[in-house]
Amino acid sequence: DLDEARLLVMGATNRPQELDDAVLRRLPKRVHIPLPDADARKALFEHLLKDQSHSVHGTSMNKLVAATDGYSCSDLSHVAREAALQPLRDLGSKVRTASEKDIRPTSFEDFIIATGRIKPAVAKDSLSSYEKWDKTFGSH
């Protein structure tokens, strides 16, 4: 049966330059997925914050997007999670007895603190090696 004969093999790596020729021959379609651009970072933050109490809009959102250039989607999720914890940390020992109304909205400043704690997982010098690999081996 033709439907049963179709098989898709997919792989992912953050070290494409370490793939040997035999693997490259067997995986003819190679796609480099770059770090998210400004529009993608903004869309991800908006998605992550949609159900949260926050004050990150307009100019502060644009500043946050600019401040997170070089972050992966996973990094951005960690930043958002870390920022959301800051209002709880600010309550200190009162956090145990605080009600939901006592917890302030997550702010731009919370995100800046979070970016100080959560650094991009991909080193800038690695980006050029990924781009070089993509030009040499990627499917365009």
Domain span at residue 26 reads 1-34+124-140
Tell whether 41 and 91 lie within a shared domain.
Answer: yes
Mean pLDDT of 26-45: 93
CATH number at 109 reads 1.10.8.60
Global confidence as pTM: 0.81
pLDDT band with cut points at 50, 70 and 90 for residue 27: confident
pLDDT band with cut points at 50, 70 and 90 for residue 107: very high
pLDDT at position 119 is 96
pLDDT at position 134 is 84
Tell whether 9 and 53 lie within a shared domain.
Answer: no
Q: How many Å apart are CA 122 and CA 26, to the nearest integer?
A: 27
Tell whether 42 and 27 lie within a shared domain.
Answer: no
- Structurally, the chain folds into a number of domains equal to 2
pLDDT band with cut points at 50, 70 and 90 for residue 2: low
Q: How many Å apart are CA 76 and CA 25, to the nearest integer?
A: 34
Tell whether 66 and 13 lie within a shared domain.
Answer: no
pLDDT band with cut points at 50, 70 and 90 for residue 24: confident
